Amino acid sequence: MLKVFQVVQHLRPGGLENMVLDIQQFSDFNQNTWIVSLEGELETAIAAWPKLKHCADRLIFMNKQPGLTASTYHKLCQLFTEHQPDVVHTHHIGPLFYASTAAKHSGVKVRIHTEHDAWHLDDMKQRLIQKCALKIANPILIADGHAVAASLDRYLGLDKVKTIHNGIDTNKFFPGSQHKARRSLGLPLDVKFIGCSGRMELVKNQELLIYAMRYLPEDVHLALAGHGSCFEALKYRTLVEGLSHRVHFVGFTDNMPDFYRALDLFCLPSLNEGFPLAPLEAQACNIRALVTDVGGAKETLCPESGKLLPSHHAKEAAELINTMLNGKMSISPRNFITRHFDVREMAKAYDDVCHQGYRDTSTPLEH
């Protein structure tokens, strides 16, 4: 069985981090897969995200401090030399810069890098760092969506990038009782709900939905799940707009299936994205979705039931939301998700890359 080390920047609740945990859980190498977090410490991470408890014995934290740190590179070289992984799989630019290059230096046979978004490549400095790291480490390069692959080609001239779409556990995210879900979350039962989940940061643009609420009927409410640096600002905006009775801040919850089941419509108003998991999760629960046309977001939409959401015009967004809420759903978005985005298929695809990479780098036995 191959020994695999996945490397991430941090282990805080998020789409990328959930995907990495899913790869560990559903891979054929699951008992021989470790996750390395450049930032943070084990106890602090588990306290903030209890989900990590079940795999705590296969988590390694480097406690990297802010800024460029040569010590992180040296620690990773020591780690890889000591544990001798067959595969080092990095996610995003920080782990690529530190861990993929350290893996090459330490003689790790298979280096894989997954790019989860490409909007950081708009920045010339980030683009140069990524180009240099890729040249040094020479990993097998994977994009999590066609839009990301196209951006890697456009910015870095990389036209042979394999695409493996993110997947979700469709046995966890499935349709259920809206009534029970709302009761479990303490939400009103007799209104229509639109909802959004994710980090509360400027790039996620939840403010658009709050402004859109001004143009929607009184019996339409908004549920926001997640936390982040914009949490207080969003609550203040809700208060200023006189919408506190119609906007519900659910906060961080481990019961995301019930959050989606409580909704009538899921909305992703982001200004930038890679290949987001939240629309997949919502649609797997048979909830229709609206997403902005950024990154690979539109690749997540069931083409028969989903639509694109304007990202800068609250009134137009409200009109589309209202139309969707008042229209009947004739096609099940869940069927689309189970066919194309199941986590087991994603994990198998990554396992196949690991196997093929290992075979390609192994020296044939002499006879």
Beta bridge partners of 193: 221
Tokens of 282: 């919502």
Cα 274 from Cα 288, distance rounded (Å): 20
What pLDDT, on the 0 to 100 scale, is given for residue 51? Answer: 92
Looking at the fold, whether 127 and 267 belong to one and the same domain comes out as no
Instruction: Note the helical H segments in 291-342.
Output: 314-326, 333-340
Give the residue from 112, 60, 118, 58 showing the smallest Cα distance to 86: 112
> Lowest-confidence range among 22-31, 46-55, 315-324, 355-364?
355-364
Q: Which amino acid is at 174?
A: F
In sequence order, what DSSP letters do the residues of 38-79 get, joined into one string?
A: SSS-HHHHHHH-GGGGGGGGGEEE--PPSS--HHHHHHHHHH
- Indicate whether 366 belongs to any domain: no
What are the phi and psi torsion angles at 168 (to 5°)?
Answer: -130, 165
Question: Distance from CA of residue 184 to its chain's centroid?
Answer: 25
The angle at the Cα of 350, spanning 12 to 15, to the nearest 5 degrees, equals: 25
> How much is the average pLDDT of 109-123?
90
What pLDDT, on the 0 to 100 scale, is given for residue 366? Answer: 39
- Indicate whether 193 belongs to any domain: yes
Tokens of 363: 């020296």
Looking at the fold, whether 22 and 157 belong to one and the same domain comes out as yes
> How much is the average pLDDT of 42-66?
95
3-state secondary structure of 290: strand
- Indicate whether 172 belongs to any domain: no
Beta bridge partners of 61: 37
Residue ranges making up the domain that contains 143: 4-167+342-361
What pLDDT, on the 0 to 100 scale, is given for residue 329? Answer: 77
Per-residue pLDDT reduced to its tens digit, 276-334:
999 999 999 999 999 999 999 999 999 999 999 998 999 999 999 999 999 887 789 99
Mean pLDDT computed over every residue of the chain: 94
- Indicate whether 286 belongs to any domain: yes
Looking at the fold, whether 255 and 219 belong to one and the same domain comes out as yes
Looking at the fold, whether 193 and 254 belong to one and the same domain comes out as yes
CATH code for position 297 = 3.40.50.2000
What pLDDT, on the 0 to 100 scale, is given for residue 243? Answer: 98
Cα 84 from Cα 113, distance rounded (Å): 18
Looking at the fold, whether 18 and 158 belong to one and the same domain comes out as yes
Residue 367 scores a pLDDT above 80: no
Question: Which pLDDT band, with edges at 50, 70 and 90, does 56 fall under?
Answer: very high
- Indicate whether 145 belongs to any domain: yes
Neighbour order of strands in the sheet with 140-143: 59-61, 33-37, 4-8, 87-91, 110-115, 140-143, 162-163
- Indicate whether 44 belongs to any domain: yes
What pLDDT, on the 0 to 100 scale, is given for residue 363? Answer: 52
Domain count, the chain: 2
Q: Are 270 and 276 in contact (CB under 8 A)?
A: yes
Looking at the fold, whether 244 and 126 belong to one and the same domain comes out as no
**Strand ranges, E, within the chain:** 4-8, 33-37, 59-61, 87-91, 110-115, 140-143, 162-163, 192-197, 220-225, 247-251, 265-268, 289-291, 307-308
Looking at the fold, whether 58 and 202 belong to one and the same domain comes out as no
- Indicate whether 173 belongs to any domain: no
Cα 269 from Cα 290, distance rounded (Å): 8
- Indicate whether 230 belongs to any domain: yes
Looking at the fold, whether 145 and 214 belong to one and the same domain comes out as no
Per-residue pLDDT reduced to its tens digit, 270-291:
999 989 999 999 999 999 999 9
What are the phi and psi torsion angles at 136 (to 5°)?
Answer: -70, -50
Looking at the fold, whether 233 and 315 belong to one and the same domain comes out as yes
Per-residue pLDDT reduced to its tens digit, 173-226:
999 999 999 999 999 999 999 999 999 999 999 999 999 999 999 999 999 999
Looking at the fold, whether 120 and 25 belong to one and the same domain comes out as yes
Looking at the fold, whether 153 and 209 belong to one and the same domain comes out as no
Looking at the fold, whether 188 and 149 belong to one and the same domain comes out as no
**What's the burial of 134, exposed, middle or buried (CB within 10 Å: 0-12/13-18/19+)?**
buried
